[in-house]
Amino acid sequence: MEPTASREPGPVRERLACLTEAYTCLRRGSCPSQRAHDVASAIFVGVCGGVSSEDRESCPPENHSDPTVELSCISMSLLEKISSALMSGSLPPAATLYHTEVLTELQDMDLMLQLILHFQSNDQIISHLAAKSVSTCVFYQLHTSSTVCPFWRQKCVQAFYSSTPSPALDTCLWSITDVFKRLLQGGHQENIGKLLAAFDSSLMAICSKFLPEERSEVLLCLHDVSRSRRWGTTLCLLLELLELLTASSVIYAADVCLQSQRITYTHSSALLTIIGGSSHYFVKKRALLLLKRAVLQKSGEDWALGEGLYIGPKNKHLLADMSTLAKSMLTAVATNWLQRVQVESSSFFGGPDMSEERKVTKQTV
């Protein structure tokens, strides 16, 4: 059998050329030669091309040589760049109108539904690009129409209620965290309230799974974490989201503070159990930082949410929540919790300090 000159079909080459020109023009702030409908169609086909009917749940790394997967990655990246450019207001009027039309065309095609299919991909590049583009589009939709994308909300709510560690759950946690972070950094108080209301009950459901009230159930959860690294990853993503929820409850002291914003305080006992019992150091450290910042009322400081945001009226539950947190910590200390908190040797840029590890080894011997 004679080798073919190229495996890449003509239509794929044409779509790649269309997307490449669109990306170049976006960076220049100009309009491509193609119609907005043609660019939108190329993005839509590119996104759908990465999700075959035979393999919707995974996209193996070896398939990255496949031009359809390359097309999918480029399409998602371009979509994220267009949404970000429109949000920043950096485009000239003509380019703004053009790219707004592209997004309108994609919305009419229900592109979000296709993007969300990539959430369940085992390929981290595919799932992360999907999460980035979806989060940016959700943020754009909240900014322009003050509505939460129904497809995205349904997918995340289902994943949270199921609470089964999986690529889809991790991607949903990352995505909602990214949207919350953007809203907090931009001071979009009204939209934060809408997002919280849309996910409040489902967030309580996932926390009841990973941060149960009974200590025996927490230890059982930690046993699952020790057996699977995915559990640890999922738990860390959840803890990052909890810090943003805590920050929102302190920054925006609304008359009504939803339950999900108080999880760090109400489930502080479970967090202390995780710190004292987790076998994964990165999980333990993340939980410890969450509680530390909650005590100091500095949640979200790593994301530069701004100085002076914590000065002002406090929500009506804050005193009771801080009292609950203090009680949990004092109870833990009284039961020798500090003795169960293991501290690793010091580390530096380039790896752990081997001299310290040798000292620990000698002392153990």
pLDDT digits (tens, 9 = 90+) for 96-146: 999 999 999 999 999 999 999 999 888 889 999 999 999 999 999 999 999
Our CA angle for 139, 318, 221, nearest 5°, is: 70
- In this structure, is residue 365 part of a structural domain? no
| pLDDT above 90 (res 21) | yes
124 with 158, same domain: the answer is: no
Lowest average pLDDT, out of 26-30, 338-342, 352-356, goes to 352-356
Interstrand relation of 351-352 and 347-348 (parallel, antiparallel or unpaired): antiparallel
38 with 187, same domain: the answer is: no
Q: Residues near 128 by Cβ (< 8 Å), separated by ≥ 6?
A: 171, 174
- What is d(CA 190, CA 146) in angstroms, rounded to the nearest whole number? 8
205 with 58, same domain: the answer is: no
216 with 334, same domain: the answer is: yes
- What is d(CA 329, CA 114) in angstroms, rounded to the nearest whole number? 46
Question: Which residue in 123, 209, 217, 198 sits closest to 162, CA to CA?
Answer: 209
List the domain range (segments joined by +) for residue 244.
Answer: 147-341
- The pTM is what? 0.81
- What is d(CA 276, CA 288) in angstroms, rounded to the nearest whole number? 10
- Higher confidence at residue 251 or residue 80? 80
Reported as half-sphere exposure (CB side, CA atoms, 13 A), residue 99 has a value of 31
User: If phi over 0 gives left and psi between -120 and 50 gives alpha, with beta otherwise, what is residue 91?
Assistant: beta
Number of domains in the chain: 2
**Max CA-CA distance within the chain?**
77
126 with 37, same domain: the answer is: yes
156 with 132, same domain: the answer is: no
Position 135 scores a pLDDT of 97
